[in-house]
Amino acid sequence: SLISAKVDLIMANATPAVVAAANATKTIPVLGTSVTEYGVALGLENFNGTVGTNVSGTSDLASLEKQADMILEWKSDAKNVGLLFCSAEANSQYQVDEVQKYLEAKGVTCKQFPFTDTNDMSAIVRDAADWSDAIYVPTDNTVADNAGIVDGICRPAKIPVFAGEEGICKKCGVATLSISYYELGEATGKMAVKILKGEATAAEMPIEYAPSETPKYNAEICEALGITPVEGYAPIA
């Protein structure tokens, strides 16, 4: 319907919307936001930071190396870290692969716990909680929508969950490196202005990232697990 309306630009929030828009038009500029990794989302080989088509936008990806460090900062004695994600989300697979690489380089044993959808999510979360000293969850849409399942299993089991973004952490996590989605949206809007004014094209615009990451923790879950917050982390409001 947007294409039929002959809009000048499509702004798409999150990976499924960006992929749908990119598949629907090769001429109308598409700006994405809250997309973790454009190369993975769009199936691009040798992605170098610029899509090169009518698609550009902003990414909500916090440094995966820093996220791996965060887990060990909070749980220095962790030997087994479970990586929980929805296998239907390519961006989630990318994130856990990268975090696993960084953790294993530090001598930590990692195991991936993919679930296909909410039907098998509870069983997989239980398996992860039974095996893990700590669990990492990336910016995963399915987990975000069903974080209560993770919390309902991991909190009673005293297994800390570390999240790739604040929304998930607020529902089931101990700590996260948070970006500002407000700032991300503002950056996307500024990109849109440049395109609409004819100052730039989506094809030449590199993907932009959040300017900074804020270390945050979930005070309620920390208290429930008997975890003392790490210095330098702010409580999630």
pLDDT, position 90? 87
- Residues found in the chain: 237
- Of the candidates 164, 146, 167, 170, which has an alpha carbon nearest to the alpha carbon of residue 221? 170
Q: What is the pTM of this model?
A: 0.83
Confidence of residue 167 (pLDDT cuts 50, 70, 90): very high
Compute the Cα dihedral for 82, 165, 167, 193 and give only its sign. negative
- Of the candidates 48, 71, 56, 49, which has an alpha carbon nearest to the alpha carbon of residue 9? 56
Residue 62 has pLDDT above 90, yes or no: no
Question: Model confidence over 101-152: pLDDT tens digits?
Answer: 999 999 999 999 999 999 999 999 999 999 999 999 999 999 999 999 999 9
Structural tokens at position 7: 């809009």
| Residues 25 and 176: beta-carbon distance below 8 Å | no
112, exposed or middle or buried, with CB in 10 Å at 0-12, 13-18, 19+? middle
| Residues 30 and 55: beta-carbon distance below 8 Å | yes
